[in-house]
Structure 1
Amino acid sequence: MDGKPLFESDRLVFSTWTPDQLEDVFRLHDDEDVGRYLLGRRETREDAQARMNEWAKNYARFGFCKFRLIRKSDGAFVGRAGFGVHGPQNTPELGYAILRSEWRKGYAKEAAVAIRDWLFRETDHDFCWGFAYTANAPSIHILRSIGMVFTHTETEEETGKELTFHKYTREMWRG
């Protein structure tokens, strides 16, 4: 990945990552309130590096990843949003994380809408998943507010926590 800007929303620029941006990933995921809804804990620099490696691999293989989010107005790092892969079919999984200092400014929803639209505009995928820990009510609210439909819950093997799954299809996007 080369860090080049790929697309924009009203207030955000979406790009790939460069190795020197590891500290941004660490700062985002080291926050206790962010980390508890990702790995269930604050994350280490090693965790951040593993995430960046996974994102680079996904981008090379699938053409998507969890993109870096930069605020247009001042170039500040805001968080990340994009797609991971889920299940044996490598289905795109919509996800986002925003710096706590940037919460309640609408960036998560703006980013979720932008990546959802990007997926159906730029790829041939027929649907994507979005899921969050059932206890993460704000994230579930965002998934539903962008039109995703609840499908089921599953218990995560690693943590024993319940995940709430939502789905969005190309047909839904076409309206």
Structure 2
Amino acid sequence: MTDETVLETPRLLLRTWRDTDLDDLVWLHSQVQASRYLSITGQPWTRDEAAGRMRGWAEEYRLHGITKLKLQRREDARFVGRAGFSMFAATGQFELGYAIAPQFWGNGYATEIAAALANFFFDRRIGDHFIAFAHVDNATSLNVLEKIGMRFQHTGPMNGLEAHVYTMRSTDPRKR
């Protein structure tokens, strides 16, 4: 991918990945706190897993014009995490997802980028709805999904995790 800014918020930039960003992604997902609710094992990603994800995201971006992207602060370009949409293979729906480095928790970054991404998704007419889910014990992420106006659908297994599943439709009122 080329180094491109895809979305800006007052405090954040969402950018495409470069090969040189692999260390940032490995660093993010080497932290147990950042990975514990992302898989059934809750284990940090290996370098190979992170590289595979970046390759997959590059292909998604080529196919759909959207994917999981690098999240940076505007003020200093510091890497804070990743956010965006991926095609969730199990349902064939776009899925909103994000991971913020623990050092940056509590700053409202997840809510800011999730709300901006919801608007981006519908403004660009990528689809008429998307889903998001979070582990049943991940109260902070569940709160983010509710804050941006997503609607609870059900609780069930997602990626091997017991999760609350939410949806947002283009006709739903969005909160900014």
Using structure 1 for the length normalisation, give the TM-score: 0.93
Name the residue aligned to 1:140. Answer: 142
The separation in 1 between residues aligned to 2:5 and 2:13, in whole angstroms, is 7
Structure 2 distance, partners of 1:2, 1:90, is: 27
Of 60, 66, 69, the match for 1:67? 69
Gaps of at least 5 residues in structure 2 are none
Taking a change above 3 Å as real, the CA distance of residues 37 and 89 of structure 1, as seen in their structure-2 partners, is: closer
2:95 counterpart of 1:90: no
Taking the TM superposition and a 5 Å limit, the aligned residue runs for 1:23-172 are: 23-39=23-39, 40-87=42-89, 90-156=92-158, 159=160, 161-172=161-172
After superposing on structure 2, the runs of 4+ consecutive aligned residues of structure 1 that deviate more than 6 Å are none
Aligned residue identity for 1:22 = L
Counterpart contact for 1:26–1:44, Cα < 8 Å:
yes
Name 2:10's counterpart in structure 1: 10
Report the Cα distance in structure 1 between the residues aligned to 2:89 and 2:154, rounded to whole angstroms. 15
Cα distance in structure 2, aligned partners of 1:174 and 1:72: 24
**Distance in structure 2 (CA, Å) of the matches to 1:5 and 1:71:** 12
Alignment: residue pair count? 173
Identical columns (%): 36
Give the alignment's TM-score, normalised by structure 2: 0.93
Q: In 1, Cα distance between the equivalents of 2:133 and 2:56?
A: 19
CA distance in 2, matches of 1:58, 1:16: 11
Please tell me the residue identity of whatever aligns with 2:48. Answer: E
Structure 1: unaligned runs, 5 residues or longer:
none
RMSD: 1.6
